[in-house]
Chain A
């Protein structure tokens, strides 16, 4: 029976032999492992001699904090207000935060009237060692921002090794205590569950109400899903908040950089991560301003007409869902008045909305516009024809016109089926249309007899 050590070595040997292609790389790693074994990593040294903070940490304003849980590193930055981040001033939220109440209500299933208090918001973003929300994913950096009297404060905690986690969590708790909402980007399903998991791992248990969420990923998706290439925070801030980061370490590299730091103890690997995280927290505040002002319907913040009206339509729908009916109606009307309304993807949805509201004066012109665009368009669609046939049959009682629309709808349907190489699923619609045509013809016939 061979010793464990020997068998482990063989295991490694076997793995290396089989991966001949990677041989060079593995050898490299081994040389590195040897040199490291000779000198214990700086990170570990830092852990032991707590009072000596690496100068590369001090250079960016990081200091060491001690509390009951041990020690960890903290970087604190104050942005005196007013402070502009892209096109928004962060101070604006102090006045307009209350407008976010409908968003909070929707995300937390609370009463819409519950106020949102700017001083009780915590803007939160974490950098973690891995993906997912499993027990082994550790947030090594937690960045959070909040409003003090005359400044927006950003704090960033860092653990030099996992043993410092407890102290960091202890510290975060003092900031969570008096906060009501966490302002995040996907924090509801990622950052917060990861943090909760860490509290549990360190012996805390949840009690009482959890903080509410103002997670701007969902509203951002609602507005920009169709118009932006992605809804990543960096894309959104550049395209809609007018903030350009310039050189930035992408968040996806943060775990690898942290591992580098763990291996050689050089804080310079983390400088980029600090900056990235700091900007993320500031952008969260700017994003909050954006949505608050949108809900406030403040003069000068009116959304612009985009080329195809998609963003305007999404914005109006989002506003309507958040109780801003009047404001939404104004935007919808702007869309309905556009000369190109008939050819736009939102045209029928908008018409349906007006129909539900009983606003036929708005719905009918939209259908007519759609009909004009589709009759000779590339892709035949029947919906608007059918709607108009129904409208004239039941409301204007212009049976001739109704029959005309119904017949054109049937023609459309035929074109569509031919294009589609006769799709069987359309036959249902065809039957319905044929019945409508028969009924209309009968009614017209009866009317003629009577007349």
Chain B
């Protein structure tokens, strides 16, 4: 440590400094250390093309990590592979190496790369282009997405060796026009799917079907490509890949990349009000830790859970270190920044020019920002997988790194910070998909039939195809002649089928301070709470006030201001039953399936003073409500049953039961927890009784709640088993929820409610 500048030579030295500060150390509830690991390498395989070997050497790669070599070998054996190694372990080489090797030997060969977002696609093209330039060979790599100008599309279709795109584009633009892509599909050798873990739940189920269609088209053109996949750490990478691809896959997870020592520090903000047990804000504590790191010259990333929090943290940090580092050396990063700005920030992080970044989970995906030294998590990111992935942003191949998990006051955070074993001893979450979800499957059978007629003996998915095809014939979508089924509608099916939940519509934010300049964008669903009129919109730490939100035209007009508050909007969510399709009564329970609408309406916004976070005013928001029309399943308890408890106990019991069910439901539906919502209501509007609602978070519904309705008994039986079997004393996040949420008796109350209902049924 340089006593004059207070700059630390290394993270190790900085940690020594931390240990010497009792006022901070008393908030550390747990300190976990992962020892350093040396590299394990093997020589480059002898058959690597000399130009490729030379290019790698000039990038400083003269040997391969064991996982890279294993992947190369498995691909050479003709197997599909999935590589699962941490961030910055040289994962992309696992697939780029075999692809480039093949292209160098065969100029007619083609490869298709799929990334979940456009930004990741662009990174990849830059990296491949750099390698091609080093080799001085003409390997054409192009992105093909919504931004590709029509004039170059034809050239890409005919001459691109590597086409980089996303599943949405594949679904709606490439596959339905496959006859324009003859060159690609006849010669396709590899299909690369990176960020495999992102394809889970309903989205993943759609993507699995898009892959089935892709495989069908490849087969039609006589090609049989290998799939080379990469994934962040999830519990079931091989199984997930195999479900997604419908084929057996070799798992590559023997990470040979070196890592420095990693420290994981659990930090709980101090209690400031003993009587009420109120802790200091996690935002302020995160800011303190980050500032301490940054002032010591340690490159740091801070993750916050919302866009507003990112901006507030950024504002505070920029101010705190104003004198020591330039403002431009601490940046924000989140969805809504324009692509150009994002590229600039990524580049600055890689070069080290930018010393600190505050980000939402937008930087959780594999965007290349190099490796940082420290990571501060403002609040638990919500899943074990996300936590590891965000923490993986800190950690160089040499030298130590540190991650702080700063707990917020919400019950889950508090549970984790006090029970670090719960987090450290648990594998990351599973990625689940259900490609044979009937509605999704039928959607894609339509698309597939449009692309190529089905023939007797074909298969598509796990259900009996001829039954599905005949169903579509009856619905006059297909026409059956001889041994084939032909598409017979005028419409273009892919247009009506979106792979993702939300319409990808954005509202652009226009700064009118000087002329008119677009500074960012916000998705339609967040707009009512982020850019309502009078809102303070923070962008890169600069304050703007929204003067006009033109909702139909999708424009928000803002002007730069300098005020000492930010705004926080409240959203009133209302669930309404429109129509009951099915109902059953069993004992004290009545269960229903039907149509529901979920209305979200922004009501008021609060003005909150910076730093003190006190409420200094409010105002109304006048905007139309967002309506989600979907299908739901709900069950309610009889009046006798509710009479047995006080309203408060019933509340806790219902909440606890709902928490258990939301763990179980995705397991049975093979969906993501985000795909389905659970809402417990002590006195529901529709039934006037204690009710637990489930609904699909997809417009029109996607069949999830209907399955739950059908498996109701099984679901409750499992819920009972789970609560009884959970080793915790009185509630934990793995069963009914932590006691901070459901109270001391939450576990027993949930169990007794459940047992009562089941016994009489």
Contact = CB atoms under 8 A, between A and B. Distances in A.
B464 to A, nearest CB: 6
A4 B486 CA distance: 22
A201 B179 contact: yes
A47 B490 contact: no
Contacts of B476: 29, 259, 263
Interface string B467-510: 11001001110010110101111111100000000000000000
Nearest to B436: A4
B463 interface: yes
Contacts of B464: 4
A262 B479 contact: yes
B579 A135 contact: no
A262 B467 contact: no
Interface in A160-209: 161-163, 196-197, 200-201, 205
B579 A18 contact: yes
Interface residues of A, number: 38
B178 A130 contact: no
Nearest to A13: B581
Range for the number of chain B residues in contact with chain A: 35 or more
A7 B442 CA distance: 12
B220 to A, nearest CB: 8
Contacts of A10: 706
B119 interface: no
A244 B86 CA distance: 73
B449 interface: yes
A47 B177 contact: no
B450 A134 contact: yes
A177 to B, nearest CB: 21
A133 B484 contact: no
A135 B490 contact: no
Interface string A1-25: 0101101101110100110000000
A71 interface: no
A33 interface: yes
Contacts of B138: none
Contacts of B177: 133-135
B450 A136 contact: yes
A255 interface: yes
A46 B452 CA distance: 24
Interface in B152-183: 176-180, 182
Contact of A132 (B463, B486, B492): B492
A256 interface: yes
B467 A135 contact: no
B474 A136 contact: no
A200 B706 CA distance: 42
B595 A18 contact: yes
B178 A8 contact: no
Contacts of A205: 182
Contacts of B176: 134-136
Contacts of A326: none
A8 B438 contact: yes
A162 B492 contact: no
B490 A129 contact: yes
Nearest to B173: A134
A17 B481 contact: no
A428 to B, nearest CB: 16
A431 interface: no
A196 B157 CA distance: 15
A11 B471 CA distance: 11
B534 to A, nearest CB: 28
A8 B581 contact: no
Contacts of B438: 4, 7-8, 11
A318 B463 CA distance: 60
A263 B489 CA distance: 13
A44 interface: yes
A60 interface: no
Contacts of A129: 487-488, 490
B579 A163 contact: no
B121 to A, nearest CB: 23
B488 A33 contact: no
A14 B706 contact: yes
Contact of B484 (A29, A131, A134, A162): A162
B492 A136 contact: yes
Given A18-B595, A196-B179, A205-B182, A131 B482 contact: no
A49 to B, nearest CB: 13
Contact of B482 (A130, A134, A163, A256): A163
A162 B453 contact: yes
Interface in B126-146: none
A201 B452 contact: yes
Nearest to A134: B176
A197 B179 CA distance: 5
A196 B181 CA distance: 12
Nearest to A16: B581
Contact of A131 (B449, B468, B481, B492): B492
Nearest to B448: A136
Nearest to A136: B450
A138 to B, nearest CB: 8
Interface string A124-164: 00000111111110100000000000000000000001110
Contact of A136 (B451, B467, B471, B631): B451
Interface string B392-418: 000000000000000000000000000
B247 interface: no
B581 A14 contact: yes
B9 interface: no
Interface string A203-226: 001000000000000000000000
Contact of B479 (A2, A8, A162, A200): A162
23 contacts: A2-B710, A4-B438, A5-B467, A8-B471, A11-B442, A14-B631, A18-B581, A129-B488, A130-B490, A132-B492, A134-B177, A135-B177, A136-B176, A136-B487, A161-B482, A161-B486, A163-B481, A163-B482, A163-B484, A259-B476, A259-B488, A262-B479, A262-B488
Given A18-B579, A197-B179, 19 more contacts: A5-B467, A8-B467, A11-B439, A11-B442, A12-B471, A12-B475, A17-B581, A18-B595, A129-B490, A130-B491, A131-B490, A134-B450, A136-B176, A136-B493, A161-B481, A162-B453, A162-B479, A163-B484, A259-B488
In order of increasing CB-CB distance, the 8 nearest A-B pairs are A136-B450, A197-B179, A161-B481, A200-B179, A162-B486, A134-B176, A130-B490, A136-B487
